[in-house]
Each structure stands twice: as structure tokens, then as C-alpha cells.
């Protein structure tokens, strides 16, 4: 497909507004306005988006790994229409309604073990912010208030979550006086082990260092360790099987809470309902968002163990927004959860994930640009390299190459996220409803692009 010139008057008008009035995050506005490369989309169906010219694009990454149930999912859309006509809003301080109660019950039922107390909010960042507050309030010792997390981790961009997000580049431009408490240790990044070790002869040093960090700071200084079961924005960094059980053991030993941030990995994405189930690790708190409604509405949750909630049950918890816990967002979540259950989606994701992984491994055999492939289920990352033997970073060759690569995919009718700590990982994280022939199409396009960049 050749991208058509954006000459239609409505396209001109959209770009005019973007250029003059919009301030979009994560991008340089000057560059976006100058290049005018993004497609102008009119609708979405299943795993495809369609632009004003009628071109179709396969969304290989589900937007920001969030459109789990595809575009135009009628089941969720119908539930929303129904709820909208009945009761669009009800404030949680005034009254309760069935659909909201159902969501509390359903999440508690489905989250592992005794994660039975559910707090609802709007964004993933809200959930993480809340978990930080709870962890810091849980201990009577006011000094036990630091939160340990991983370099390369992503937990949000709000003031509190930014303090624990492990990308300094996100914090630097604003000279933020980040609230105290964020400490980082290196991630379980086996392909480029931060300690120069090789699994399995490494004694899982990345987990041992959490022990060291807690001892170094003093166990009475650390309230919680937070991590993504598989690191998302950092590049689908997938730990070895020993990692999470060991981290849990270390946290328990030092009486440090374990928060698992399942905002990206939760609700079936990895072939289990929650990624922590791959390692049978039950955290003290779990955060979730994206897949909870497949972004049909903004809704997030913190699932908290009863023992932690007990500490707060007589207190007021000041953590919400006007629109938190709305019937509309709960209707979306409930419809999404019943879609997962009725479609047997989690088992299907496990199967399709194996199929996708096999196809990606074939690409690695054929292309020297593929360094590492990692992930679980339909959460797969492909790290590109400019020299496979020496593992030379792909991005080190030409920092502008990410943009060029994105355009090459776009020209072939595929939208793919290229990210990771060094912006050289392709995200194969399609909507969970993808079929095998669509996986073939996704890999076929990838093969064409890999051939071209070789
Ligand atoms: C693991 C994780 N935590 C938190 C967030 C923040 O969620 P939100 O963008 O909804 O605030 C994200 C977003 O990508 C995420 O991947």
C-alpha cells in the first residue's frame, strides 16, 4: 500500500487543528506537525483500523497494548448503550447500583487467592498511585515509606507514579522535585544481563539485588517493591521462572509488600488471566486497567489482600476522582469480563500465543536483524539488533530509524509499536481476538520489512 497524500479538505482541517491547537504527549509536536505521517482514521473493526482513504491497517500492538477485545466489539458496545440509556452516572458517595457491585464481586472472584478487596478508579496511574499510598500507610513506622522498583519499569506519568517509573528521561525535562521514595534496581533482562551473567548460571542475581537493596536501605525504610510481571514499556522484559517466586520470598523475609502491576499484562494478555499465575505468585496488591474494559471506558482497579485492608477499614481512603467507579465504566468492565469468559479467551490466547511465537522464531532464523524474542501469550517482543553476534543495539546505528521503520510498516498496512528501553523492540501484542490467518499476515508484513532493512 502506498500512503496517499493527505489532500482531502477534512484531512487538512484535522492537521490544521493538530498543528495549531493540540499538545499530544509522548511526541515532539513540531515533528508530528512537520511530517504529517499519522493516518487519519475513520473507524475500526476487529483488529483493523480504516483511514479516510479506505486503507486498512492491522493494529499489531492493540494501540498501547490495550484494545484487547478489538475495535467495534458489539457485546461491549451494546452493554454501554444499554447502561447509558439507564443511568450514565452515579456518585459512589451518594448511592450504589447493581452493575458497580457486580464488578467489585467479579474482580474479587477472579483475582488470585485473598486479593478480595477492590478499589475502582479510572486510569492505570490512579491504581498505582493508590497502591503506593496504601503501602506507605500500612506500616506504623513513618520511616518505612520508600518504594523499590526496577529501572526501565513503567507505572505511569502522574507525579507519584513517575517517582517509581524507571525511566529518568521521562522525569528530567521538567526538573520535577519528585516525591521521595522511589529507588530502583536493574531489571531481569537476560538478553543484556545488567550484571554480565548468563542464565541459568547467574544465581538470579537480578532478584538477589533486591535483597541487597532492601538490606542496604534498611528493611525498616522500604514499604514495598513494585514490578510488572513482564515489563511492558521497558521492552517486554520477561524474567526467568525463578525470578518472581524469589522476589516474593525476599519481600516476605523483610516484611516488604509486593505490588504486582498488571495494568498491561492482566486480563488474559499473557495466556493466563493474570501474568502472576505463570509463577504461582500471589502479591499483596495488584493493579490493573487496560484489559479490564479493553479501553471501552476508563476503568482501573487495585486488588488488595484482606490483611492489608483490615488496617484501613476504619479509616477514610482519600483516593478518587469525580468519575471513579461510574456505572458506565463498570458496564464496560462487566461486558469485557463476560466476553473473556464466554469466549474462553484466556485458553485461546495461550494457543495463539504459541502459534505467534513459532512464526516469530522462524523470522529470527531468516533475519539477522532479530536479536531476541521474548514474552508470553499474545505479549511478544522482538528486539532488533544491527549485529547479532555482538548484540549491537539497533537504535545505535541511527536514532531516527524507529520513525523510518514505523513508516515502512504503515506503508504495508500495519501499525506497530516500536519501543523498549532503547526503542528497538517491536511489540507483537495484537487484540486478543486475532485469528491465525491474521497472525500470518502480521508476520508476513514483518518479514517484508525485515528483508528491506537488511
Ligand atoms: C504497567 C503499567 N502501569 C501503569 C500504567 C499507567 O496506566 P495509564 O496510562 O492508564 O495511567 C501503564 C501504562 O501503560 C502500564 O503499562
Question: Using one digit for the tens of pLDDT, what is the confidence trace for 228-286?
Answer: 999 999 999 999 999 999 999 999 999 999 999 999 999 999 999 999 999 999 999 99
Chain mean pLDDT for the chain = 94
23 C-alpha to center of ligand 1: Å? 20
User: CA dihedral defined by 433, 436, 439, 445, rounded to 10 degrees?
Assistant: -140
349 C-alpha to center of ligand 1: Å? 21
What are φ and ψ of residue 342, in 5° steps?
Answer: -70, -30
128 C-alpha to center of ligand 1: Å? 8
Condensed to tens digits (0 to 9), the pLDDT of residues 369-425 reads 999 999 999 999 999 999 999 999 887 666 678 888 999 999 999 999 999 988 899
Please state the domain extents for the chain: 39-72+345-453, 74-342
Most informative mutation of 61, 156, 157, 291 for ligand 1 (most atoms within 8 A of CB) = 156
Ligand 1 pocket member 261 (CB < 6 A): yes
Ligand 1 pocket member 155 (CB < 6 A): yes
Most informative mutation of 26, 61, 128 for ligand 1 (most atoms within 8 A of CB) = 128
Measured distance CA(103)–CA(335) in Å, rounded:
10
pLDDT at 431: 98
Residue ranges in 343-427 assigned as alpha helix (H): 345-366, 394-397, 401-411
Ligand 1 pocket member 128 (CB < 6 A): yes
Above pLDDT 90, what percent of the chain?
A: 84
Ligand 1 pocket member 165 (CB < 6 A): no
Q: Whose CA is nearest to atom 9 of ligand 1?
A: 124
Ligand 1 pocket member 269 (CB < 6 A): no
140 C-alpha to center of ligand 1: Å? 29
Most informative mutation of 161, 234, 264 for ligand 1 (most atoms within 8 A of CB) = 264
pLDDT at 181: 62
Fold identical between 39-72+345-453 and 74-342? no
- pTM of the entire predicted model: 0.96
- CATH of region 74-342: 3.40.640.10
Ligand 1 pocket member 263 (CB < 6 A): yes
Q: Does pLDDT of 44 surpass 60?
A: yes
CATH among 3.40.50.1980, 2.60.40.10, 3.30.930.10, 3.90.1150.10 for 39-72+345-453:
3.90.1150.10
Condensed to tens digits (0 to 9), the pLDDT of residues 172-221 reads 776 655 655 678 999 999 999 999 999 999 999 999 999 999 999 998 99
Measured distance CA(150)–CA(215) in Å, rounded:
16
Instruction: Report the alpha-carbon angle 174-180-184, nearest 5.
Output: 85
Amino acid at each position: 500500500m502506498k500512503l496517499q497524500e493527505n489532500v482531502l479538505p477534512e484531512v487538512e482541517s484535522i492537521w490544521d487543528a493538530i498543528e495549531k491547537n493540540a499538545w499530544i504527549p509522548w511526541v515532539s509536536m513540531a515533528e508530528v506537525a512537520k511530517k504529517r505521517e499519522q493516518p487519519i482514521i475513520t473507524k475500526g473493526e476487529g483488529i483493523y483500523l480504516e483511514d479516510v482513504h479506505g486503507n486498512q491497517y492491522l493494529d499489531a500492538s492493540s494501540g498501547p497494548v490495550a484494545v484487547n477485545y478489538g475495535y467495534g466489539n458489539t457485546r461491549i458496545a451494546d452493554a454501554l448503550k444499554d447502561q447509558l440509556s439507564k443511568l450514565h452516572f452515579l456518585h459512589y458517595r451518594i448511592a450504589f447500583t447493581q452493575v458497580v457491585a457486580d464488578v467489585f464481586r467479579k474482580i474479587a472472584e477472579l483475582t488470585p487467592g485473598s486479593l478480595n478487596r477492590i478499589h475502582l478508579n479510572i486510569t492505570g496511574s490512579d491504581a498505582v498511585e493508590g497502591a503506593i499510598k496504601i503501602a506507605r500507610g500500612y506500616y506504623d513506622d513513618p520511616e518505612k515509606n520508600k518504594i523499590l522498583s526496577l529501572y526501565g519499569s513503567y507505572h505511569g506519568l502522574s507525579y507519584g507514579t513517575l517517582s517509581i517509573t524507571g525511566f529518568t528521561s521521562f522525569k528530567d525535562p521538567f526538573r520535577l522535585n519528585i516525591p521521595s521514595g522511589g529507588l530502583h534496581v536493574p531489571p531481569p533482562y537476560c538478553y543484556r544481563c545488567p550484571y554480565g551473567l548468563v542464565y541459568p548460571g547467574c544465581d538470579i542475581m537480578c532478584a538477589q539485588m533486591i535483597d541487597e537493596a532492601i538490606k542496604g536501605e534498611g528493611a525498616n525504610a522500604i514499604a514495598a517493591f513494585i514490578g510488572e510481571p513482564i515489563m511492558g514499556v521497558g521492552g517486554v522484559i520477561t524474567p526467568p521462572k525463578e525470578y518472581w517466586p524469589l522476589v516474593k520470598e525476599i519481600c516476605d523475609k523483610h516484611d516488604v509488600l509486593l505490588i504486582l502491576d498488571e495494568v498491561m499484562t492482566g486480563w488474559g494478555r499473557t495466556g493466563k488471566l493474570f501474568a502472576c499465575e505463570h509463577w504461582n505468585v500471589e502479591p499483596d496488591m495488584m493493579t490493573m486497567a487496560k484489559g479490564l474494559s479493553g479501553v471501552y471506558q476508563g476503568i482501573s482497579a487495585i486488588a488488595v489482600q484482606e490483611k492489608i485492608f483490615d488496617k484501613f477499614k476504619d479509616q477514610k481512603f482519600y483516593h478518587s476522582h469525580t468519575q471513579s467507579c461510574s456505572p458506565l465504566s463498570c458496564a464496560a468492565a462487566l461486558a469485557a469480563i463476560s466476553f473473556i469468559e464466554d469466549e474462553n479467551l484466556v485458553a485461546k490466547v495461550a494457543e495463539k500465543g504459541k502459534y505467534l511465537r513459532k512464526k516469530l522464531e522462524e523470522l529470527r532464523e531468516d533475519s539477522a536483524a532479530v536479536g531476541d524474542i521474548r514474552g508470553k501469550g499474545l505479549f511478544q517482543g522482538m528486539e532488533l539488533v544491527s549485529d547479532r553476534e555482538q548484540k549491537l543495539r539497533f537504535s545505535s546505528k541511527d536514532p531516527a530509524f524507529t520513525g523510518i521503520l514505523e513508516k515502512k510498516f504503515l506503508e504495508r498496512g500495519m501499525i506497530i509499536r516500536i519501543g523498549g528501553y532503547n526503542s528497538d523492540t517491536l511489540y507483537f501484542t495484537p487484540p486478543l481476538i486475532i485469528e491465525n490467518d491474521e497472525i500470518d499476515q502480521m508476520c508476513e508484513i514483518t518479514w517484508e520489512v525485515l528483508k528491506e532493512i537488511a
